[in-house]
Amino acid sequence: MGNLRVLVTRPEGQQDQLVEVLAQADIDSRCLPMLALSALSHPADKRRINNQLARLTHQQLAIFISSNAVRFTANHLATLSVTWPAQLPCLAIGASTAKAIESQAWPQVYDRHNGDRQQPFTSEGLLEKTALQSIAGQNIMIFRGRGGRELLAEELVARGATVNYCELYQRSQPEYDGSILTEYLGWADGGQPIAAILFASGETLSNFCQQIEREKLSEDVFDVAVVVPSQRIFEQAKAAGFSRVYLAANASAESFLAALKASIV
């Protein structure tokens, strides 16, 4: 796969492992984040976060949506000189999130039913976990950024749990002018056109499409192959107009690489 170049759209701080895995396969990466993350810093937000963290000992389960949620939680606990309750188990969405929890030495729940320590990469997958099948009467706190999908909380409430959010950071869309986008797509004079764009989330895909539309770039971009990690984002990419959409098994670096090897010549 020599001389193959792809565009990575993950936020700053989330690109390294993917870039490294691709480089080992002789695939060149260009990184243009389509999502920026920052801690919530308004005094009202900080008070709300402090109040939520003060209730940790009253929770039966904590769910982390992303490795960023783990990182921002750990940072906030450190500022308060508070340690994670030893009796409060955590559930993760995605292997990188599980690894982040492990690095904090917080207790973590794995699926005892089949002994599988692999964590699902979607809310739908997490809801299949044994630990979430009999949760009536439990207090569950979900750690995430501001906003996002409500499917997980809605289903947990339907199963009889009391759910609270601890929202610690916010997302924003970086803005690039047309010349930057053209350069990273490899369309500038003397550039090497990218062979594929990798989208790890629906939000990065949406942000990319908005920038392409705002800068009125050529619709040829929709002929570039894209790789996405779920059926939901696959359908989103198709609806956006991309003609060559390939589905990775999940959002891991290894799965993106496998999809590229299987689909991009």
pLDDT of 167-210, one tens digit each?
Answer: 999 999 999 999 999 999 999 877 789 999 999 999 999 999 99
pLDDT, position 226? 97
CA–CA dist 87, 48 (Å, integer) = 23
CA–CA dist 38, 71 (Å, integer) = 11
CA–CA dist 246, 223 (Å, integer) = 13
Q: How many helices (H) and strands (E) does the chain have?
A: 10, 10
What does the block give as tokens for 29? 């990466």
* Helical packing angle, 253-263 and 16-24, nearest 10°: 40
pLDDT, position 117? 46
CA–CA dist 79, 156 (Å, integer) = 30
pLDDT of 149-172, one tens digit each?
Answer: 889 999 999 999 999 999 999 999
**Dihedral sign from CA coordinates of 119, 120, 126, 128:** negative
Q: Largest Cα–Cα distance in the chain?
A: 62
Segments of the chain scoring below 70 in pLDDT? 1-2, 111-120, 265
Residue reference for tokens 């508070």:
82
Structural domains of the chain, with CATH? 4-35+174-263 (3.40.50.10090), 38-171 (3.40.50.10090)
CA–CA dist 155, 167 (Å, integer) = 19
Specify whether the CB–CB gap between 169 and 148 falls below 8 A: no
Burial profile 172-206: b = 16 or more Cβ within 10 angstroms, e = fewer:
ebeebeeeebbebbbbeeeeeebbbbbbbbbbbbb
Specify whether the CB–CB gap between 185 and 194 falls below 8 A: yes
Give the amino acid at 19. V
What does the block give as tokens for 238? 């198709």
CA–CA dist 157, 153 (Å, integer) = 6
CA–CA dist 248, 265 (Å, integer) = 16
Q: Would you call 38 helix, strand, or coil by DSSP? A: strand
Specify whether the CB–CB gap between 231 and 44 falls below 8 A: no
* Residue 8, phi then psi, degrees to nearest 5: -100, 130
Indicate the helix (H) or strand (E) that contains 29.
strand 27-31
For residue 202, how far is the Cα from the chain centroid?
9
* Helical packing angle, 67-80 and 95-103, nearest 10°: 20
Whether pTM exceeds 0.75: yes
